Chains A and B, each alone.
Chain A
Amino acid sequence: MNPKRKRRLMMIILILIGVGSATALTLTAFNQNMMFFYSPSQVAAGEAPKNRPFRVGGMVKENSLSRDNDGITVRFIVHDNAKEVTIRYTGILPDLFREGQGIVAHGKLGENGVFIANEVLAKHDENYMPPEVAAAMKPKGIDKK
């Protein structure tokens, strides 16, 4: 092999090793951080994972919001017209959080079937329904507004 080819081959091998390991690392990290969306019905049916974070979303049930004594921890019920999930969240709720509106929560399922959220999203517009929530509501007969 002449030196020019050898140099080029070395270069290519180095790049391949680099890109290969980068791909492997990426895919591992990607797999660990993928969060699936489950509707309250799916959670009730036990389809949601027990010890890995996922997202759940639906409409906040009217009059279901209650506050613990610290004033910061809230509980509320999210439903998709079929099943309900209780969500517990410690922190300040987003501006557009309202009973009767669609939200998406990120978090894990707790021991007693209560979803412990570390993030609650209610998006930027009064009429806005998160697409996941709209899809979750659809089969139950209520369409996106």
Chain B
Amino acid sequence: MIPELGHFSLILALSLAIAQAFFPLVGAQLNKTRWMAVAKPAAHGQFIFLSIAFAALTTSFINNDFSVLYVATNSNSLLPVQYRISAVWGAHEGSLLLWSLILGIWTLAVSLFSKHLPPAMVSRVLGVMGLISIGFLLFMLFTSNPFDRLLPAAIEGRDLNPLLQDFGLIIHPPMLYMGYVGFSVAFAFAIAALLGGQLDSAWARWSRPWTTMAWCFLTIGIALGSWWAYYELGWGGWWFWDPVENASFMPWLIGTALIHSLAVTEKRGSFKSWTVMLAILAFSLSLLGTFLVRSGVVTSVHAFATDPTRGVFILAFLGVVIGGSLLLYAFKAGNIKSAGRFSLFSRETLLLTNNIILVVVCATVLLGTLYPLVLDAMGAGKISVGMPYFNYMFTLFMLPLVFLMAIGPLTRWKRQSINDLLGKITIIFIISVLTGIASYFMLGTISWSVAGVIALFTWIIGSSLINLYKRVENKPNKITALTTIPLSFYGMFLAHIGVAVFMMGVTFTSHYSEEKDIRMKPGDSLDMAGYNFQFEGATEVNGPNYRAQQGSIVISQNNRKITTLKPQKRLYLVQRSPMTEAAIDASLSRDLFIAMGEPLGNGEWSIRIQYKPLIRWIWLGTIIMAIGGLLSISDKRYRYKRKRLAS
């Protein structure tokens, strides 16, 4: 009964999505107020029915209803209840439902927080989001219905993939999807503006907080994925340039470019058509990501679907969305007039450079991700593109970007005098270089490239602080003046510092990690990176749905015991699949990471021991970036605008 209720709700949601797309879009074109008025109620109704469907599937999971095929395939009565809930989005059908629900949430949010927008604009935005929703609901109902019954019902479920039985999976997909789907708002705003021919700085101001919000979610979502891979399947790696990771990273790169170009469009009225293009690209790449991940063209832990009709459907949907929006762009973009003029050296130029670099990096990632697929599809051989390509390209382009990132906020719009800028930054430049040189000689073991990164770190932090100081320099009371600076400035300040922190984490982890795979018998010990690791043997322990061999490793430093780590080698009983559960001693300065390899007989084990300096900075940096994004959304200019327009 409950699954049927869910299925029926999905169909109702689809009908409402059709209403939400058709009436407002046509109404806005024909200027029919009553047609446009359908948008909000339809959006609310759609959200309600999607929630019911989602709740229905969750209930089936909690109740272990193995007469539902999807539940029987992805759950088990022994599965702890929190994983039964997260198993809802643990595979293809349910993750699509989550996608749709999240689209419903964003649509609801737009309909609630858009009272200050012109009705035609709101109708078009909601209409476009309705169109997207139609695509996904059709896809779900026709190729991937999570409520399909299994008759006769299974007695026991096949269990959730052990890799996914983890806290990381509970939150990683919803966060990532909030980001992916969030770009649909920016996309809908762009399409609405193209349709209405209303591309002004007001448009950019409306679209900006939504874009930043989506970007924050995506940042956190990607970081969570990386963190999960690190402790759950990566044997200590945090990023693999796997096609699936790239699929989430490309929209992030374009989204980052979009945030910056929206700033120019809002403040200066320039870059208009470019901004629209980026909004279209960001969402297209989100869809491409969904396609890559879900269609089974790339094989990974995320690729559930091997059903070719699904791939064809997503590809067709992708073609319609990207092709349609680019066509619209081609017809309408000619009418867009960018206003602001700017000279060769100005903040606009630096932001343009930022955009070009980010787009180029995205293109290199896209090449490395898609080229092997294209070549394979043409039967021209199976290749893969190694990590060195991505690492090299990324570093090559990102270092100049990070260097300019420090200067950008200090330059003026329209025209910047070079002497004036030099006056602001010469001192901090010299300090940075000296810091780099000093760290090279004082820290002893570091290379020039690491010293360079330390200098760059100082450069970003220093110039950010200078920028902050310049803001209050002429104020009588500098401390109270700090509170009058708009939050969006602090947002940018933090986001840039987040990048610097991230960069330090990446550099130190990749240069100074130590790793050893070693054979150990109980009592054996290893000295590495100033720590002593003593293996005390392994014992058997039992979990709710697995059996494990649990090793015990005592870590000490200077003969003082720090901690005992207990990594496990698990065997999940239903799927008979082995799993390595690493044990990590985490701190801000370093992680100690231990994973059990294989038993070698006589109580001996092969064990992987890793020392990872500053690895936490990688995720800390992304959290700082996201907090920066949140701060800039909280800027009051996005709030009082509403009141002013309402009055």
Contact = CB atoms under 8 A, between A and B. Distances in A.
B545 interface: no
A29 interface: yes
A72 B517 contact: yes
Interface string A102-126: 0000100000000000000001111
A90 to B, nearest CB: 7
Interface string B211-245: 00000000000000000000001010000000000
B598 A35 contact: no
A7 to B, nearest CB: 6
B382 A36 contact: yes
B528 interface: no
Contacts of B397: 22
Contacts, number: 101
Nearest to B575: A126
Given A29-B392, A30-B385, A95-B579, A71 B600 contact: yes
B381 A36 contact: yes
B395 to A, nearest CB: 11
A30 B356 contact: no
A124 B580 CA distance: 12
Interface of B: 161, 163, 233, 235, 299-301, 343-344, 349, 356, 360, 363-364, 367-368, 371, 381-386, 388-389, 392-393, 396-397, 517-519, 575-580, 595, 597-598, 600, 604, 606, 608
A33 interface: yes
Given A25-B396, A36-B381, A96-B577, A91 B389 contact: no
A15 interface: yes
A96 B384 CA distance: 21
A11 B517 contact: no
Given A72-B606, A123-B300, 13 more contacts: A25-B396, A26-B363, A29-B388, A33-B392, A34-B385, A36-B381, A36-B382, A37-B383, A71-B606, A91-B517, A96-B578, A126-B575, A132-B382
Contacts of A55: 382, 384
A67 interface: yes
Contacts of B396: 25
B381 A37 contact: yes
B588 to A, nearest CB: 28
Interface of A: 7, 10-11, 15, 18-19, 22, 25-26, 29-30, 32-37, 53, 55, 67, 70-72, 90-93, 95-96, 106, 123-126, 128, 130-132, 135
Main secondary structure of the interface of B (DSSP, over half): mixed
A124 B604 contact: no
A132 B597 CA distance: 26
A35 B597 contact: no
A18 B161 CA distance: 46
A34 B517 contact: no
B389 A93 contact: no
Given A25-B396, A26-B393, A29-B392, A95 B383 contact: no
20 contacts: A18-B360, A19-B356, A25-B393, A30-B368, A33-B386, A34-B389, A35-B384, A37-B381, A37-B384, A55-B382, A72-B518, A72-B519, A91-B608, A92-B606, A106-B386, A123-B299, A124-B300, A126-B575, A126-B577, A130-B299
B444 to A, nearest CB: 29
Contact of A26 (B235, B344, B364): B364
A92 B605 CA distance: 10
Contacts of A132: 382
B384 A95 contact: no
A35 B386 contact: yes
Contacts of A93: 597-598
Contact of B161 (A70, A90, A124, A130): A124
A31 B189 CA distance: 40
